[in-house]
């Protein structure tokens, strides 16, 4: 399920994409130069303090191209 409390949950999408592409947390951590524990923390459903630039780095590392637009 990619929705939580009726809202799209980017954490679930991100981890689902990683898994679908056959990339382990350890592999992703190595690609980003962080520990596996950092990736695990990023993928916790209640972890909400990831920056947009880090999100783009993670998605790029798993081969997902992004286009993020922020508007008021």
Q: What is the pLDDT of residues 33-70, one digit of tens each?
A: 999 999 998 887 666 677 778 888 888 999 888 776 77
Please indicate, yes or no, if residue 69 is contained in any of the structural domains: no
- pLDDT of amino acid 55: 82
Domain count, the chain: 1
- pLDDT of amino acid 52: 77
User: Which structure tokens are listed for 40?
Assistant: 């695990």
* Range(s) of the domain holding residue 23: 3-61
Confidence of residue 71 (pLDDT cuts 50, 70, 90): confident
Please indicate, yes or no, if residue 12 is contained in any of the structural domains: yes
User: Which structure tokens are listed for 26?
Assistant: 């350890």
Q: What is the CATH number of the domain that holds 27?
A: 1.10.260.40
Please indicate, yes or no, if residue 71 is contained in any of the structural domains: no
- Give, for 8, the enclosing helix (H) or strand (E): strand 7-8
38/42 Cα distance (integer angstroms): 6
Please indicate, yes or no, if residue 67 is contained in any of the structural domains: no
- pTM of structure: 0.72
- DSSP secondary structure code for residue 26 in this structure: H
């Amino acid at each position: 399920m990619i929705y939580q409390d009726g809202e799209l949950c980017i954490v679930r999408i991100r981890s689902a994409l990683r898994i679908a592409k056959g990339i382990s947390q350890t592999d992703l951590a190595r690609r980003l130069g962080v520990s596996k524990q950092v990736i695990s923390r990023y993928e916790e459903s209640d972890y909400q303090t990831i920056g947009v630039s880090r999100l783009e780095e993670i998605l790029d590392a798993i081969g997902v191209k992004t286009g993020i637009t922020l508007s008021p």
